[in-house]
C-alpha cells in the first residue's frame, strides 16, 4: 500500500500526502490490518521494555528516559515516516554517541547531563528536518559502507566494554577504549561477587536464548516464526527472574545495584533549555548523531520495504526521523532512530502499517504508568548483560577480511575508522572515516584510467598499446579516457597528454577517444581548450572521437568546437582511417610503409 | 632537454636527478645556452625591479623585502624546479593573501608583521615540500577552474581598489571591499592633489605602454618580439621619470610619499621566529597560499613547457616551489610562486634553462646593493599605478558569461567565490569556493544518470524508454547505469532499483547494463549484494550485462558472483534474447504475444 501512495505522491509532488504519508494509509485502514498491527505491537512492546531501560543506562540517563524516548517519537514517525514497519526509538550506537557528547559538557547524573541529551535530540531533529526539506539526504552518502561498518564494529566493542563495569559491580568511565580499560583496571579490586554472578548468569542465559532456544522450540514442534518471536522475548524472562531473585533473596544487601525507583508517569512535556554556548558545543555531535542515525535507519527501512516490494522515500524519511527526534526533545527523551532488531521483530510479527508503531507507543506508555514500580528491583547487571549480548552481534570481524581482498583502499578507510573510534572515541572515528573515504575518492577521481591505444590488426577495435600487439603510427597518438572529465581530473588530463607528446617530434595528430566520458564540466572544458591550444602551439592537431550525445550537446553551448583544430569522428575507426593518411604536409598521403600498412587495414 | 631528463627520471625513479633536475641540464650546459640565458636574465631583471618593490608594497612590507624575495628563491627553484622558464618571485595575488594573513596577527609596519610574513613563507615552503614528497599534488585539484578564475578576478578588484589610497595620497585599509571602500570614503577629503596627478599620469602612461607602445614600435619597423619586450620595460621608464621629477621638483615638499631609504645590502640570512601560537594561527592561511600559489605556478609552467613540447613534473614542482619559499623564509623575503608575467617575459626573451633564473637573481642582488639609493625618491603612487595596471588584466568579466552558458552549477561556484572573496576577503573566498565545488561534485556524483532501456525494434540497440519507442516486456526490467559505482551513488542505486520494481507484480528479471561502469568500490559492491538479496526476497532474479574486463576481474575477488541469482551476459542483446523467454514458471517459454514479438526480433 505504500507503493500506491508513493506512486500518487510521485505524480503530484505538491499533494499533502507527500509530507503526511498517514493520510494515505489511514484512508484504507480496516479491521484486518488493525488485528495484525495490534498483535505486532504487543510483541514489540514486550521486547522494548527491557531494551529501552538498557539503552538509557548506556546513554548514562535515568531508566525512565528510555521509556519516554519510545512513546512520542514512535507516534511522530507514524505520521511522517514512509516505512510501514520501521520501529523508532533508542538504539545502542546512538545511545553511546549521546553519552560521549553529553559527557563532554556535563557530569553523568547531573541535571545538565539530562538537559544536554534533550538538546542533542532537539538539534538532531532540527538537522534531520532541514536536510529533509532541502532534500540533502545525499549527504549521508559521505559515509561509505566500510566506514559505517567499521564504526559500528568499533562502537560495539566500546559499548560491550563499557558495560563490563556493571557486570563487575565497579565504576569505570570514558568513551574510548584506552580510558575505559584504564578505569576498569584501576577499580578491578572493588568487584562485587554477587553482582558478577548475576551478570554472568544473565549473559549466559541470554546467549543461550539467542542461539539455543529457537532450535529447541522448533524441535518441540513450533514453527519458525513463533519460535523466533518467543526467543526475542528472552530478555523479559531474565528481567522477571532477576527482579524476583533480588526481592526474595534481598540481594541489595549484598551490594547488587538496581534500577531504583522510577517515577510512574507519562512523558513530561517540556521544552529543551536554550543556551547558545551549549547548543554550539553540541552542534557537531548532533550532526554526527543525525547522519549515523539516518544511515542506519534508512538501510533497515530499505531492507524491509524491499521484502514487500514497497519503497521508502529517503528525503521524507529525514522528515520522519526529524519529527521523531523533535518529539523526543519535547517529551523528556533523547536522540532516537530506526532500530534494526525492533524493526525486524515488528516486521516478522506482521505489522502492516505505522499504526503498529502507534499501538506500541500506547503499550510503552501503559508500562511507564503501571509497570515501573516492579522494575525498581531490576539489577543493573541484567540490563548490562542485555546490552552486551545485543551489541556483540554488531561486532563484525569478517567484513574487514572480505574488503581486504576486494579493495585495499576501502580496507584502509575501514581499519582507520575502527582504530580511531576505539582509540579516540566515536566522534573522531566518524569524522576520520568520512574524511578518509573522501580523500581516497578524490584521489582516485583525480587519476582516472586512460590508455594510449592502437588498432588491433584486422579489426575495428582499439586497445591499450601496453597490453596488446596493435598498430600505431608515429604521426598519430590515440588516447582513450575511461572516466568522465571533471575538475578533479582536468589537470591530470593536461599532464597526461603533455607527457605523451613530450619528445615525439614526428607527432602531428592527437585523438581523444571519448567513449567512456559521460560528462565534461567547465574545468575540464577549459583543460581541453588549453590542451587544444598547447598542441596547436606545438604544431599538433587535436581530434575527438566517439563523443556521447549529451556531452556533444553541451559542448555545442561552448566555443570549444569552433576552436578545435581537428575534427570530431563518429568512431575511432573512422578517425584512424582518416588521420593515418594525413601527415605533415597537409592532407596529401605520404606513401611510407607504415601508412600503407595502416591503409591496407582500413 | 627537460624531456630527456624526465624520461630518464621515469625509468629510474630513485635517480638523484629525479629530485635535482639541475644535475641533468647542468651537464649539458654550453656557451650558446649561456648567451641566451644571460640576455633573458638581463631583460627580466629590468622588469622585476619595479615589480618586486610594488608587490612588497601590496603585501604591506618594506620595499626591499620584494627584492630579497626575488634572489634566493629563484636560485632554489633553479636547483629543484622542473620548468626551464618559470620565473619565481613575489606575485600580486600571493602578496594580497600575505597582507590579509599577516594583518590578522600584527599591525602593518610593525616588526611582528614582517616576522609573520617570514613565518608564512616558512610554513608555505614546508607544506609544499611535504606535499611534494608525499605526492599530494592532486590536492590542488580541489580548486576547480571556475573557482580559481573567480578568485583571481575578485582578488584583482580588491588589489586595484586597495592601491587607490596611494594614488589619492590618503590612508585606507582592509582586505575586503566593504572595509576598503569604507575607509577610502572616510578619508577621501585628505586627498593630495600632487600625488593624484603623479598617480593618474603614471597609470595613463602605463596603460598606453601596454596597449599603444607595441603597435607603435612595430609600426616603426621593429619586429614583434623586441617590440613586446621593450613595452614590458615601460614601468622602468615610469620609475626613472618619476624619480627625476621628485628630485628636481622637490615633490616631497608637496606631500608626495616616496619609498624612502632602502638599506643597501644583500638579503639578511636569518631564521624565522618560532612561536607555536603564531604558527598555529598562520597555518591555514599558509596552506591556502601554498595551494593557490601552486595552482597558478603549475598552469603557467605547463603552458610554457607545452610550447616547446617539454613537460613539467607537478610533484617535483611542489618541491621546487617549497624550496623557493623556504629560501624566502631564511633570507628576509615573503611567500613567492611562479609568476605569469615574468615567466612569459623570460620565455620570450629566450631563456633556455633555469640558469637564466640564477642570473636574474644575481641581477636583483646587484640592484639591491647598488641601485637602492636611487629608489629612495620613487613615489609610492607610481608603484601603485604599476600594480593597478598589472592586476586589472587579471580581472576577467567575460568568463562568468561563458560558464553560465555551459554549466549553471560551475557558474554558481564561480559567482559565490567572487562575491564571498569581495565581501569577506580572500581566505573565506578560497575556502567557500573549494567547499562549494566539492559539494556540487558530490551532489552530481551521488545522482548519476541512469535509464530504463528497451530494445529498438529491428536492431541490437537498447535505448531509454522515455525517449525512444522501444520494446519492453512486463517480466523483464533493463536498467543502464551511466557512471562508475562508488560509495557516493551506492545508496542512490539501491533506491533507484527499488523505485523501478515497486508495484510491478509481473516482474521476474532485472538486468543491470554495465557498459559505462569503469569501477565498483566496496560500498557499491555491498549495495549490489543488497539489491541482489532484496530482489531475491521479492522473487526477482538479478542479471548483469556488458561488464568491463577490469570490473569483472575485481568482482571475481568477491563472493558477489557466487551469490548473484542470475547470469552475466556478454551483451545486452544476449540478455534480452535469453530472458525474454524465461518467465514465471522456470525456463519454459510462454507463448504470449509480447514474447513472440520479442523472439521474432531476436
Contact present, A455 and A491 (Cβ < 8 Å): no
The answer to whether residue B415 scores a pLDDT higher than 80 is: yes
**Touching check for B487 and chain A: CB below 8 Å?**
yes
Residue A485 has phi, psi (to 5 degrees) of -95, 120
If we measure between CA atoms, which residue out of B601, B547, B557 comes closest to residue B576? Answer: B601
For residue A503, what are the CA distances in angstroms to B1, B312, B482? 9, 13, 36
Q: Does the model's pTM come out above 0.90? A: no
List the single residue in B6, B437, B488 with the smallest CB-CB distance to A502. B6
pLDDT for the residue B43: 85
Calculate ∠ Cα B176-B96-B229, nearest 5°. Answer: 130
B204-210: which pairs have CB atoms within 8 A and are 24 or more residues apart? B205/B234, B205/B237, B205/B238, B206/B234, B206/B235, B206/B238, B206/B385, B206/B386, B206/B389, B207/B389, B209/B234, B209/B235, B209/B237, B209/B238, B210/B234, B210/B389
CA distance to A60, A117, A122, per residue, from A107 (Å) = 10, 12, 20
State whether residue B542 is helix, strand or coil: strand
Pick the more confident residue, B415 or B447: B415
Q: Is the complex ipTM more than 0.90?
A: no
In this complex, the residue of A405, A487, A558 whose CB is nearest that of residue B557 is A405
Query: CA–CA separation, A202 vs A380, rounded Å?
Result: 11
Instruction: Give a three-class secondary structure readout of A486-540.
Output: CHHHHHHHHHHHHHHHCCCCCCCEEEEECCCCCCECHHHHHHHHHHHHHHHHCCC
C-alpha cell of residue B173: 585599509
Mean pLDDT of B253-257: 84
Residue B76, classified by CB atoms within 10 Å of its CB into exposed (0-12), middle (13-18) or buried (19+), is: buried
Residues in A touching B532 (Cβ below 8 Å): none
Measured between CA atoms, how close is A178 to chain B, in angstroms?
28
- Please work out, in degrees rounded to the nearest 5, the angle formed at the alpha carbon of residue A139 by the alpha carbons of A441 and A74: 140
- The CA radius of gyration of chain B, in Å to the nearest whole number, is 31
SS3 content of chain A, % helix, strand, coil (to 5): 65, 5, 30
- Check A558 against B402: CB less than 8 A apart: yes
Task: Say whether residue A554 is in contact with chain B using an 8 A CB cutoff.
Answer: yes
Find the closest chain B residue to A135 by CA distance: B443
Q: How far apart are CA B203 and CA B167, in angstroms?
A: 9
Is residue A39 within 8 A of residue A322, CB to CB? The reply is: no
Residue A211 burial by CB count (10 A; 0-12/13-18/19+): exposed, middle or buried? exposed
Alpha helices in A447-486 (DSSP H): none
Residue B313: name the closest of B86, B159, B105, B500 by CA: B86
Q: How far apart are alpha carbons A590 and B506 in whole angstroms?
A: 62
Residue A510 β-bridge partners: A477, A542
Q: Which residues in chain A are closer than 8 Å to B314, comparing Cβ atoms?
A: 491, 495
Three-class DSSP category at B55:
helix
Stretches where chain A sits below pLDDT 70 are: 1-18, 309, 311, 584-602
pLDDT tens-digit profile of B180-193?
A: 898 888 888 888 89
Q: Tell me the three state secondary structure of residue B481.
A: strand
A410: Cβ contacts below 8 Å, ≥ 6 apart: A144, A146, A403, A440, B521, B522, B523
Q: Using CB atoms, which residue from A145, A491, A522 is nearest to B487? A: A145
Which run of H or E residues covers position B49?
helix B31-58
Q: At what angle do helices B92-105 and B426-446 cross, to 10 degrees?
A: 110
Residue B462's SS3 state is strand
Task: Yes or no: say if A289 and A124 are a contact pair by the CB < 8 Å rule.
Answer: yes
Whether the CB-CB separation of A53 and A383 falls below 8 Å is answered with yes
* Beta-carbon separation of B145 and A522 below 8 A: yes
pLDDT given for residue A218 in this prediction: 86
Distance CA A307, CA B540 (A): 11
How far lies B24's CA from each of B28, B132, B315, in Å?
Answer: 7, 20, 17
pLDDT score recorded for residue A17: 67
**Rounded distance between C-alpha atoms, residue B324 and residue B321, angstroms:** 5
Distance separating alpha carbons of residues B518 and B529, to the nearest angstrom = 18
- Residue B174 — very low, low, confident or very high, per pLDDT cuts 50/70/90? confident
Contact at 8 Å (CB) between A351 and A41? yes
| Inter-chain residue contact A498 with B314, CB threshold 8 Å | no
Interface test with A, best of B1, B24, B138 (most A CBs within 10 A): B138
Which of B150, B521, B548, B556 best tests the A interface by mutation, with the highest count of A CBs <10 A?
B521
DSSP B143-202: S-HHHHHHHHHHHHHHHHHHHHHHHHT-----SSHHHHHHHHHHHGGG--HHHHHHHHHH
Cβ distance of A516 and B521 shorter than 8 Å: no
B596 vs A512: which has the higher pLDDT? A512
Return the axis-axis angle of helices B522-537 and A408-424, rounded to nearest 10°: 100
> What per-residue confidence (pLDDT) applies to A462?
87
A243-266 in b/e form (b: 16+ CB < 10 A) is bebbeeeebeeeebebbeebeeee
User: What is the DSSP secondary structure assignment for residue A268, as one 8-state letter?
Assistant: P
**CA–CA distance from A120 to each of A115, A276, A330, B73, B267 (Å)?**
9, 13, 12, 52, 57
Widest CA span in chain A: 106
What distance in Å separates the CA atoms of residue B520 and residue B551, rounded to the nearest whole number?
7
Size of interface A-B (CB pairs under 8 A): 199
* DSSP bridge pairs for B477: B510
Between these two residues, B458 and A88, which has the higher pLDDT value? A88
Q: Which residues pair with A543 in a beta bridge?
A: A511
Q: CA A544 to CA A533: how far, in whole Å?
A: 14
Interface of B with A in 391-430 (CB under 8 A): 402-403, 405-407, 410-411
Nearest CB neighbour to B495, from listed A314, A488, A498:
A314
User: Are B526 and A145 an interchain contact pair (Cβ–Cβ within 8 Å)?
Assistant: yes
Q: Please list every residue in chain B whose beta carbon sits closer than 8 Å to the beta carbon of residue A483.
A: 484, 518
User: Is B518 close to A449, i.e. CB distance below 8 A?
Assistant: yes
Instruction: Say what the pLDDT of residue A11 is.
Output: 41
CB contact under 8 A, A138 and B4: no
Instruction: Please report, for residues A115, A379, A481, the alpha-carbon distance to residue A94 in angstroms, rounded to integers and kept in the order given.
Output: 17, 23, 44
- Least confident among B330-339, B434-443, B561-570: B434-443
List pLDDT tens digits, range B5-61.
344 334 444 466 667 777 777 777 888 888 888 888 888 888 888 889 889 988 999
B593 has a pLDDT exceeding 90 = no
Q: Degrees (nearest 5) of the Cα angle B121, B124, B128? A: 135
Least Cα separation, residue B531 to chain A (angstroms): 9
B31 to each of B28, B83, B354, B434, how far by Cα in Å?
Answer: 10, 20, 15, 47
Identify all chain B residues contacting A538, using CB atoms and an 8 Å cutoff.
306-309
What CA–CA distance (Å, rounded) separates B27 from B7? 16
> Quick check: B359 and B82 in contact, CB under 8 A?
no
CA distance A458 to chain B (A): 22
Q: For residue A28, how many C-alpha atoms fall within 13 Å in the half-sphere facing its CB?
A: 10
Contacts of A411 in chain B (CB under 8 A): 522
| Burial tier of A556 (Cβ tally within 10 Å: 0-12, 13-18, 19+) | exposed
Torsion of CA A148, A138, A126, A159, to 10 degrees: 0
Does the CB of B503 have a partner CB in chain A at under 8 Å? Answer: yes
On whether any CB of chain B is under 8 Å from the CB of A521, the answer is: yes
Q: Suggest the residue from A296, A526, A529, A531 to mutate for an interface test with chain B (most B CBs closer than 10 A).
A: A526
| For testing contact with chain A, the best of B311, B501, B522 (most A CBs within 10 A) | B522
User: How far is residue A583 CA from its own chain's centroid?
Assistant: 56
Cα A82 to Cα B454: distance, rounded to the nearest angstrom? 31
Q: Give A137's contacts (C-beta < 8 A, 6+ positions apart).
A: A131, A294, A314, A315, A317, A318
Query: In b/e form, how buried is each residue of B22-48, taking b as 16+ CB within 10 angstroms?
Result: bebbeeeeeeebeebbbbbbebbbbbb
Integer Cα distance of B33 and B38 in angstroms: 9
Interface probe with B: pick from A491, A503, A559, A563, most Cβ of B within 10 Å: A491
In this complex, the residue of A314, A406, A558 whose CB is nearest that of residue B558 is A406
d(CA B443, CA B436): 10
Q: How far is CA A221 from CA A39, A232, B171, B191, in A?
A: 22, 18, 94, 101
CA separation for the pair B239, B220 (Å, rounded): 25
Q: What is the mean pLDDT of residues B427-456?
A: 86
DSSP character for B81? -
Sheet with strand B462-464: strands edge to edge: B462-464, B450-455, B476-481, B509-513, B541-545, B568-569
Closest approach of chain A CAs to the CA of B528, in angstroms?
Answer: 12
Q: Round to whole Å and give the CA distance between B268 and B260.
A: 19
Amino acid at each position: 500500500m505504500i507503493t500506491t501512495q508513493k506512486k500518487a505522491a510521485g505524480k503530484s509532488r505538491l499533494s499533502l500526502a507527500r509530507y503526511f504519508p498517514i493520510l494515505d494509509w489511514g484512508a484504507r485502514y480496516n479491521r484486518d490490518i488493525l488485528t495484525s498491527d495490534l498483535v505486532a505491537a504487543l510483541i514489540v512492546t514486550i521486547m522494548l521494555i527491557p531494551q529501552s531501560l538498557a539503552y538509557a543506562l548506556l546513554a548514562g540517563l535515568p531508566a525512565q528516559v528510555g521509556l519516554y524516548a519510545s512513546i512520542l517519537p514512535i507516534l511522530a514517525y507514524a505520521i511522517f515516516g514512509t516505512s510501514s514497519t520501521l520501529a523508532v526509538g533508542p538504539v545502542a550506537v546512538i545511545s553511546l554517541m549521546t553519552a560521549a557528547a553529553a559527557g563532554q559538557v556535563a557530569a553523568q547524573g547531573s541535571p545538565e547531563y539530562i538537559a544536554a541529551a534533550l538538546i542533542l535530540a532537539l538539534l538532531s531533529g532540527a538537522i534531520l528536518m532541514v536536510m529533509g526539506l532541502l532534500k540533502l539526504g545525499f549527504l549521508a552518502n559521505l559515509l561509505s559502507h566500510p566506514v559505517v561498518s567499521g564504526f559500528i564494529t568499533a562502537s560495539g566493542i566500546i559499548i560491550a566494554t563499557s558495560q563490563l563495569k556493571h557486570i563487575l559491580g565497579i565504576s569505570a568511565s570514558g568513551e574510548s577504549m584506552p580510558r575505559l580499560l584504564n578505569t576498569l583496571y584501576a577499580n578491578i579490586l572493588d568487584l562485587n561477587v554477587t553482582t558478577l554472578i548475576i551478570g554472568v548468569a544473565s549473559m549466559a542465559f541470554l546467549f543461550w536464548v539467542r542461539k539455543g532456544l529457537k532450535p529447541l522450540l522448533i524441535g518441540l514442534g513450533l514453527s519458525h516464526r513463533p519460535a523466533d518471536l518467543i526467543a526475542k522475548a528472552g530478555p523479559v524472562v531474565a528481567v522477571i527472574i532477576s527482579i524476583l531473585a533480588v526481592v526474595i533473596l534481598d540481594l541489595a544487601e549484598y551490594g547488587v545495584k538496581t534500577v531504583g525507583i522510577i517515577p510512574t508517569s507519562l512523558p513530561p512535556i517540556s521544552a529543551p533549555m536554550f543556551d547558545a554556548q551549549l547548543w554550539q558545543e553540541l552542534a557537531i555531535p548532533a550532526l554526527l548523531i543525525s547522519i549515523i542515525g539516518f544511515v542506519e535507519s534508512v538501510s533497515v527501512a530499505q531492507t524491509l520495504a524491499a521484502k514487500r516490494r514497497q519503497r521508502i522515500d529517503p528525503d521524507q524519511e529525514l522528515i520522519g526521523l526529524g519529527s521523531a527526534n523533535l518529539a523526543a526533545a519535547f517529551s523528556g527523551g533523547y536522540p532516537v532512530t530506526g532500530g534494526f532488531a525492533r524493526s525486524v521483530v515488528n516486521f516478522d510479527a506482521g505489522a502492516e502499517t505505522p499504526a503498529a508503531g502507534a499501538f506500541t507507543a500506547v503499550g510503552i506508555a501503559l508500562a511507564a504508568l503501571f509497570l515501573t514500580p516492579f522494575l525498581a528491583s531490576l539489577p543493573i547487571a541484567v540490563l548490562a548483560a542485555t546490552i552486551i549480548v545485543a551489541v556483540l552481534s554488531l561486532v563484525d570481524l569478517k567484513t574487514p577480511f572480505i574488503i581486504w581482498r576486494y579493495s585495499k583502499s576501502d580496507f584502509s578507510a575501514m581499519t582507520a575508522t575502527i582504530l580511531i573510534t576505539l582509540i579516540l572515541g566515536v566522534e573522531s572515528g566518524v569524522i576520520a572515516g568520512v574524511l578518509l573515504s573522501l580523500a581516497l575518492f578524490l584521489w582516485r577521481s583525480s587519476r582516472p584510467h586512460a590508455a594510449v591505444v592502437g588498432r588491433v590488426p584486422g579489426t575495428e577495435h582499439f586497445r591499450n598499446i601496453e597490453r596488446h600487439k596493435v598498430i600505431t603510427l608515429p604521426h598519430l597518438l590515440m588516447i582513450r579516457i575511461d572516466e568522465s572529465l571533471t575538475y578533479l581530473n582536468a589537470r591530470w588530463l593536461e599532464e597526461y597528454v603533455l607527457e605523451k607528446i613530450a619528445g615525439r617530434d614526428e607527432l602531428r595528430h592527437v585523438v581523444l577517444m571519448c567513449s567512456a566520458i559521460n560528462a565534461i564540466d567547465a574545468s575540464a572544458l577549459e583543460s581541453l581548450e588549453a590542451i587544444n591550444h598547447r598542441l596547436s602551439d606545438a604544431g599538433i592537431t587535436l581530434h575527438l572521437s566517439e563523443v556521447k550525445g549529451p556531452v556533444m550537446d553541451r559542448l555545442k553551448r561552448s566555443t570549444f568546437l569552433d576552436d578545435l583544430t581537428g575534427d570530431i569522428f563518429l568512431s575511432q575507426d573512422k578517425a584512424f582511417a582518416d588521420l593515418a593518411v594525413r601527415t605533415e604536409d597537409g592532407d596529401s598521403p605520404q606513401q611510407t610503409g607504415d601508412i600503407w600498412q595502416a591503409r591496407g587495414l582500413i
